[in-house]
Amino acid sequence: MDSLITAAALALAGGDPLGALDRVALREDPPALALRGIAMAQLGDLDRAKALLRRAARGFGPKEAVARARCVVAEAEIALVSRDLGWPAKALDAARTTLEKHGDRLNAAHAGHLKVRRLLLIGRLDEAEDVLAGLDPMPLPPASRAAHELAVAGIAMRRLKTKPARRALEWARHAARRAGIPGLVAEVESAFLALDTPAARLIAGGGQRPLLLEDVEALLASPAMVVDTFRYVVRQQQTTVSLATRPVLFALARALAEAWPGDVSRATLIAQAFGGRHADESHRARLRVEIGRLRAELRGLADIGATSQGFALSPRLARGVMVLARPIEERHATVLAFLADGESWATSALALALGTGQRSVQRALEQLGEAGKVQSFGHGRARRWMTPPVAGFTTTLLLPAPLPSG
Amino acid sequence: MKQSAAEILREYGPFPGVERVHGVSFDGNNVWFASGEKLNAFDPENGQALRSIDVAAHAGTAYDGQHFFQLANERIQKIDPDTGQVLATIPAPGGGGDSGLTWAEGTLWVGQYRERKIHQIDPETGTILRTIESNRFVTGVTWVDGELWHATWEGDQSDLRRVDPQSGKVLEKLDMPAGMGVSGLESDGGDRLYCGSTSAGVVRAVRRPR
């Protein structure tokens, strides 16, 4: 490398992007453009950064594949942080392969983490987990290590595995402090906060109390029968009955579970399941039909017995019946229930699953989006919706080292 | 043109706190190298790190028997080896795009990296006396026994080449193993060429063919 590029890179590494720009501001050769791009990204001018990195990548010669790959990685990171998920994931894969082939393991790992973060963001947990499993965090410098552990924690939290999540966050906290990047430390702390903030509400025996994520994990592993309003299922350990597409049956199951071991009057059931205030004969007939359907659905888990007032649940094996609810009940809960799986959904798929029109789903999603409860990416027919990742997604730029290393 | 694989005799370092080497020089006893914010000396007999001078050292280094010349930003600094004081500066011919530096017979020779050029300049004023062209990116430059050698580094391939100082024609070429980039280059006046690494804090000794 030449004198000013070295001087600029040293300034960048020392956290002085302005000092770096000062040295290469007027130079148009590819290494200078790349350094200017990374400095601009650090200064928050992401649009200009992207343009500079793109020009740098184009300018590098055929023998400078590594330098070009680093520009692609930096550009991908900027796109990711600005939530522009339309950039070509294939280019990142190719850059990662080039870096690996030329022994730049550090930047190759960085590219791998970007891929994981993108998959996490678009709700492809299985793939994210696969890529992450192929990355060895041990030789990584502190900042990359922190990003790695945040991703591990993010997936674990999605999967309701709180112990591994906590362990990963401890590592992330340690690494972020060693890296000395305040933004990264703050991200780890907010992920910890998510672990220590009630994630759900338990309704049982007429009372209710908030649950942490690990309480939810323990509850789902317990022998209790749980009516889960997050996913619209009734479950007991390994057995799961999904009522996601049957809102009436789910409402009945929930009402019965909340009253357990007591019974629920016909009038209450009708009001809660059908929304009618007065129970007339036709409602009663319909209730009998729906209870019969619910009975069939829950066959393996519980029986529904008739009482003088109405109906009562009697679980076959479970010693308790509980309702797992959101901390605050909200509108469009059914839409959120589908998105709670952490995967990404198309509007049309949600409409199909919910049995309603695309228009009303669209309206619900827009309202939820304004409240920050769901996020979307892509445009037009390619648009997908999901709930924001709980953690594991750093928004701090940890750009690749622009100069040869290792 | 003779072409062969570079024979690496020894590797010095990695030296603590040194991420990569930007320039290499030899004062008759010890090898000196630039590491960004410092000039560092080591004993080529035992590889022991000796002392260092705190001075901006971003690229090539040269020694005229009394002073060091050191590329930093877009200038060449003349440095007192005892006090570390910068005695004078002249503009570098490449305006900061310079990489290698060596001293020979009263003039300085400077490699201009991406321009693939080597300039001979007046050490007092920086005036360009002559320019020869290479067909590879030029990093280190050194003179030994009337031979002009320069190192190239393009992508992940480097070689050391002896060129005609008039025409720039390549007379001999030593290929470095893939991935072993050469930044600074300096001869010890005998059969060794010291090569700074582009990717690690090490200096390698390569046999100079005779």
With a cut of 70, say whether residue B28 has pLDDT above it: yes
Question: How far does B26 lie from chain A, in Å, by closest CA?
Answer: 20
- Identify the helix (H) or strand (E) that includes residue A204: strand A200-204
How much of chain B exceeds pLDDT 70, in percent?
A: 100
Q: What average pLDDT score do residues A78-104 get?
A: 87
- Rounded to two decimals, the ipTM of the complex is 0.94
Which has more confidence, A274 or B32? B32
Contacts of B71 in chain A (CB under 8 A): 3
**Across B35-169, where does the E strand assignment appear?**
36-42, 49-57, 61-63, 68-72, 75-79, 86-91, 98-104, 107-112, 117-121, 128-133, 138-144, 147-154, 157-163
**Per-residue pLDDT tens over the stretch A291-307:** 999 999 999 899 999 99
- What pLDDT is stored for residue A122 in this prediction? 74
Which residue is closest to B182 within chain A, CA to CA? A1
With a cut of 50, say whether residue A192 has pLDDT above it: yes
- What pLDDT is stored for residue B36 in this prediction? 94
Asked whether the beta carbons of residue A4 and residue B200 sit closer than 8 angstroms, the reply is no
The two tokens of residue A360 are: 């009303």
The two tokens of residue A394 are: 């750093």
A393 confidence band (pLDDT: 50, 70, 90)? low
Question: How far does B70 lie from chain A, in Å, by closest CA?
Answer: 10
Number of Cα atoms under 13 Å in the Cβ half of residue A71: 25
Buried-exposed string A105-143: b where 16+ CB fall within 10 A, e elsewhere = ebbbbbbbbbbbbbbbbbbbbeebbebbeebebeebbbb
- What pLDDT is stored for residue A206 in this prediction? 79
Q: What average pLDDT score do residues A34-50 get?
A: 93
- What pLDDT is stored for residue A406 in this prediction? 33
Question: How far does A69 lie from chain B, in Å, by closest CA?
Answer: 12
> Rounded to two decimals, what is the model's pTM?
0.80
- What pLDDT is stored for residue A390 in this prediction? 56
DSSP letter for B51, please. Answer: E
- CB proximity B97 to A under 8 Å: yes
Which has more confidence, B67 or A141? B67
How much of chain A exceeds pLDDT 70, in percent?
A: 93
3-class state of residue B185 by DSSP: strand
The mean of the pLDDT values for chain B is 95
With a cut of 80, say whether residue B167 has pLDDT above it: yes
- Report, in angstroms and rounded to the nearest whole number, the Rg of chain A calculated over CA atoms: 26
B112 confidence band (pLDDT: 50, 70, 90)? very high
- What pLDDT is stored for residue A405 in this prediction? 41
